[in-house]
Amino acid sequence: RRAVPMHALALAHALFLLAPSAGGALLENQRCHSKHVPKTSQCTGCPPKYEGKLCASTTRYNDQTKAACGCGKTDPIPRNWWTVTQKTAAVNCKTLDDEHPMESWCPAGCGGCYELCSTGGNTNGNRTKPGVCHVFKVTNRCGDGYKQYPMWCSNELSWRQCQDNPALCKKEGSTNWYGYPAHFDLQDLHLQISDGLGW
């Protein structure tokens, strides 16, 4: 999937692709070090790119809390609240706030918007049509594995840091467990992603 930050409090404006979690075989000497190797990604190199744009991984999740960005008047929030009915996402710690990645309440990147576009890679066994784009607002933090073990959001570098220093990006732990420098977990409480978009 491709992402364009539309508005982000602490994020630089840059274009990058978001690749499915079950993506393609990159040449071992060209890819970022990671625990797993993607199967059908369109992205190559380190940091991984597709048609010159940076790549990242995506998954789906369900969460009816105010989340890390505190979006809501109650906790849990109503099922019809915008953060669970619209296109929203949790983003990995280092992308959300690369200076304070352990900040779990109102991190610097809350409210940032990204245009995510499919690359045509494989997601959970379903092929996606390439070039389908939608804008997502960041409302939550993904800390899966951060400072603990390889996982979706365990990367020790932000995508900006990987882009600025590809040699450092290749080192173990710099990216997530599939070798991507950013991860977006898409809110799917109402199946707006899995059924609505087919992602």
pLDDT at 83: 96
Sign of CA dihedral 19, 23, 28, 33: positive
Measure the CA–CA gap between 97 and 99, rounded to whole angstroms.
6
Residue 21 maps to a domain = yes
199 lies in some domain:
no
pTM: 0.84
User: Is the confidence at residue 96, as pLDDT, over 80?
Assistant: yes
Would 194 be classed as within a structural domain?
no
Residue 196 lies in a domain: no
Max mean pLDDT range (6-20, 124-138, 144-158): 144-158
Q: What is the mean pLDDT of residues 151-175?
A: 96
Which of the pair, 128 or 87, is modelled with greater confidence?
87
CATH of the domain at 90: 2.40.40.10
In a domain, 103, yes or no: yes
Q: Is residue 40 part of a domain?
A: yes
Query: What is the predicted pLDDT for the residue at 117?
Result: 83
* Span between the terminal Cα atoms of the chain, in Å: 10
Among the ranges given (17-31, 98-112, 134-148), the one the predictor scored with the smallest mean pLDDT: 17-31
Name which of 184, 147, 175, 156 is nearest 45 in CA terms: 175
Residue 83 located in a structural domain: yes
Is the pLDDT score of 114 beyond 50?
Answer: yes
Structural domain range at position 39: 2-187
- The reported pLDDT for the residue numbered 29 is 59
Helix (H, G, I), strand (E, B) or coil at 166: helix
Span 134-163, average pLDDT: 95
In Å, how far are 74, 79, 94, 112, 126 from 91, measured between CA atoms? 22, 21, 8, 10, 23
Work out the average pLDDT over 182-196: 96
Q: Would you state the pLDDT for residue 124?
A: 55
Q: Is residue 197 in some structural domain?
A: no
Query: Going by DSSP bridges, is the β-strand pair 113-117/122-123 parallel, antiparallel, or unpaired?
Result: unpaired
Residue 14 has pLDDT above 50, yes or no: no
Q: Is the dihedral of CA 53, 54, 59, 65 positive or negative?
A: negative
Domain count along the chain: 1
Task: Compute the distance between CA of residue 30 and CA of residue 9 in angstroms, rounded to an integer.
Answer: 33
| Least confident piece of the model among 21-25, 44-48, 166-170 | 21-25
